[in-house]
Amino acid sequence: MPEGPSIVLIKENLQRFVGHTITAVSGNAKFEKDWLVNEVLLGIKTFGKQLYLVFEKAVLRTHLLLFGSYSIDEQTKPEKSLRLGIWFDSGSIFFYTCSVKEVEHSYLTEIDWQADVMSDIWDPKKAVRKLISLPDTLVCDALLDQQIFSGVGNIIKNEVLFRIGVQPESLIGDLPTAKLNQLIAEARNYSFDFLNWKRDFVLKKHWLVHTKSNCPICGERLIRKHLGKTNRRCFYCLKDQKRY
DNA sequence: AGGGTTGTTAGGGG
DNA sequence: GCCCCTAACAACCC
């Protein structure tokens, strides 16, 4: 669920509640929730893996972390503990196992929206500038840096590195300019492929290396290793991905 | 069946 | 203050 494109899909699915008024709220989220009743959902924004529900009085910031989930119009009483439930006359939204916080409107103006790979105003040139300031960073860590590639998660990371033929332990500073530009272009491009495949429930079958055992090009065994400061799983091919 | 994970934050030690 | 490590979170997949 939790990488950037999945959050864009949540936004799409919740769009029908925009303009609707809250009738009740519940859940174990640790913030005062009573003010939400009678508030109108004014809009929904995403930034990377975060989803923002905008109201007049304040904004709710949700992040699904690793295990989070949500549901719309769930009929049966949930067995798992409800983090936040929002009821409208027209239906309901439930969030589970996620971080939910109340933030002020000013929080949204502080965000570097151009850093979101899914955004209409995604700025690849800005990403180049950020990357060249971090020459000693491993590419696998750089892709997961939410200040640079907001929305990119571990799946996107592995698939992007395979697509551009770069091993995860390569240093940013050792990549030729063309390869650096390819990295940035593919971070966005793959994220949109991810979005479309996820929307059609066929994401997993398009994975080329993530959780896979063998290289789809040469058939050799893939390397599976936790790497970098982020220490996240990397899947890569020694032959078809170059170590710079 | 049970360990690992599509992720982030807080806190502590050095 | 920065870097690095650990714990917490507590669901689901293979």
A58-67 tens-digit pLDDT? 999 999 988 8
- Residue among A201, A164, A200, A156 at smallest CA distance from A180: A164
pLDDT score, position A1 = 59
A37 Cβ within 7 A of any nucleic strand B atom? no
**What's the CA A50/C1' C5 distance, rounded, in angstroms?**
26
- Residue among A13, A33, A4 at smallest CA distance from A101: A33
pLDDT score, position A31 = 85
Q: Note the pLDDT tens digit of each residue in A139-191.
A: 999 999 999 999 999 999 999 999 999 999 999 999 999 999 999 999 999 99
Return the higher-pLDDT residue of A1 and A113. A113
Per-residue tokens: A189:
């491009």
A49 Cβ within 7 A of any nucleic strand B atom? yes
- Report the nucleotide nearest the CA of residue A79, measured to C1': C11
Task: Provide the mean pLDDT of chain A.
Answer: 92
CB within 7 A of nucleic chain C: A 65-67, 69, 80-81, 83, 96-97, 204, 229
Q: Are residues A115 and A147 in contact, defined by beta-carbon separation less than 8 angstroms?
A: yes
Nucleotides of strand B lying closer than 7 angstroms to a protein CB? 4-9
For every residue of A27-91, DSSP letters joined together read -S-SS--GGGTT-B--EEEEETTEEEEE-SS-EEEEE-TTT-EEEES--SPPSSPPSEEEEETTE
Report how far residue A139's alpha carbon sits from residue A174's, in angstroms, rounded to the nearest whole number.
Answer: 10
Residue nearest to nucleotide C3 (CA to C1'): A229
**What's the CA A64/C1' B8 distance, rounded, in angstroms?**
10
Report how far residue A230's alpha carbon sits from residue A142's, in angstroms, rounded to the nearest whole number.
Answer: 9
What is the radius of gyration, based on Cα positions, of chain A? 20
Identify the H or E element spanning A24: strand A22-26
Report how far residue A81's alpha carbon sits from residue A95's, in angstroms, rounded to the nearest whole number.
Answer: 9
Report how far residue A178's alpha carbon sits from residue A208's, in angstroms, rounded to the nearest whole number.
Answer: 23
- Report the nucleotide nearest the CA of residue A198, measured to C1': B6
The answer to whether residue A45 scores a pLDDT higher than 70 is yes
Report how far residue A58's alpha carbon sits from residue A33's, in angstroms, rounded to the nearest whole number.
Answer: 11
Identify the H or E element spanning A141: helix A139-143
- Its pTM stands at 0.94
Identify the H or E element spanning A94: strand A91-96
Residues of A 140-169 whose CB lies less than 7 Å from any atom of strand B = 144, 146, 153-155
The answer to whether residue A76 scores a pLDDT higher than 70 is no
Nucleotides of strand C lying closer than 7 angstroms to a protein CB? 4-5, 9-12, 14
**What's the CA A234/C1' B12 distance, rounded, in angstroms?**
29
Per-residue tokens: A112:
């570097």
- Report the nucleotide nearest the CA of residue A233, measured to C1': B5
Report how far residue A163's alpha carbon sits from residue A79's, in angstroms, rounded to the nearest whole number.
Answer: 41
pLDDT band at A78 (very low <50, low <70, confident <90, very high): low
